[in-house]
Amino acid sequence: MTRIGVVGATGLVGNEMLRILEERKFPVQELRAFASSRSEGRRVPFGERWVRCEVLRPGCFEGLDLVMIDVDDPLAVEWAPVAAEAGAKVVDNSAAFRMEPDVPLVVAEVNPDDVDEMPRRIVSCPNCTTMVLLTAVAPLHRAAGIERMVVSTYQSVSGAGQAGIRELDDQWTRDVSRTERLRRAGALEGLIVPGQVWPKPIAANVIPLAGSVGERGYTSEEWKLVHETRKILHDDSVAVTATCVRVPVYVGHAMAVNLSFRSPVTRGQALELLGRAPGVRLVDDGNGYPTPLDSAGIDPVLVGRVRSDPSNPGGLDLWVTGDNLRKGAALNAVQLAELIVDRE
């Protein structure tokens, strides 16, 4: 039995972690929930009982075996080492430690053995987009070696947390129907009002800029796909380029992926590999295709529209989607916790 702490327990991912711990019958002897001061004393559900939230403070992790963290990077930088120094193993879902050389970055179905080496007692979960993508493409990489990957993402608003969901809700209910009436009447005013999370409206729109703009005009989300892919696959030679797009979908990230391989891969070979890949559900019968709505609330990553690339013999195009809150974050964190407990 394990004494476990969940930091960020009142957030979207934190709530999902608690649900999955209960669903998967994780051996919890004691559970402590941590949240911000405004949520101190708030009760969060864990199975048939409720757990009262505490605030982070000196000594709060004493006696815990495992701490799962889903908070902003600065808080993770501050408190993950504190939990490790208190004797706990830490599963961190922030971006704070992902590219640290002495912190493994792990997708449970792809590189589980990396949890065997945790010199800082911290293991990191990748970005939710990377998580969904690599669950699907890693079996193809193991079989034929991905040489180049071109990715276009369609990322849901829940990737920006509760604020993203509220902003989409507000714009749909407040602005969209009114704007449509004005458009039909020939009026120019009444356009959807931008919110606080994104500088342009997300309702009835797509925003081809996810994350902050950085080096060479690529965003932080796009660079995460590049660097995290190479670290997880243990292969710095994989060329990755991405365009990350935010879409007015509540839950579920999707990706259109073009792959070039060192050894040619046929569509039939790809279907066979994906059909038996852990954590993957193939939805490709010639007419079938998965959508973000299909992936919402379930564990598997869904893959469909697998095609041989006519412009690149031996290459593939495919469509991937997965629940960004579940497999993209909370489920993988729980799976890593299970791996740690199993090895101990």
- 60 is a catalytic site residue: no
DSSP string, 206-222: -BS--S-B-GGG-BHHH
Beta strands 146-155 and 253-261, pairing class: antiparallel
Please name every residue paired with 149 in a beta bridge, in sequence order, or none if there are none.
240, 259
Q: 3-state DSSP: the chain helix, strand, coil percent, rounded to 5?
A: 35, 25, 40
Instruction: Give Cα 103 distance to the centre of its chain.
Output: 18
Sheet with 66-69, side-by-side order of all strands: 43-46, 49-54, 28-34, 2-7, 66-69, 89-92, 122-124
Token pair 């095609």 is at which residue? 307
Half-sphere exposure of 13 (CA within 13 A, CB side): 29
Beta carbons of 82 and 76 less than 8 angstroms apart: no
CA nearest to 249, candidates 181, 203, 212, 211: 203
CA distance 144 to 326: 29
Question: What are the CA-CA distances from residue 86 to residues 89, 127, 188, 277 (Å)?
Answer: 9, 26, 61, 37
244 catalytic? Reply is: no
Q: Report H helices in 151-266.
A: 162-171, 177-184, 220-233
Residues 6+ apart with CB under 8 A from 142: none
Q: Of the residues 60, 128, 141, 244, which is catalytic? A: 128
Q: What is the bridge-based pairing of β-strands 49-54 and 122-124?
A: unpaired
Active site amino acids: 128, 253
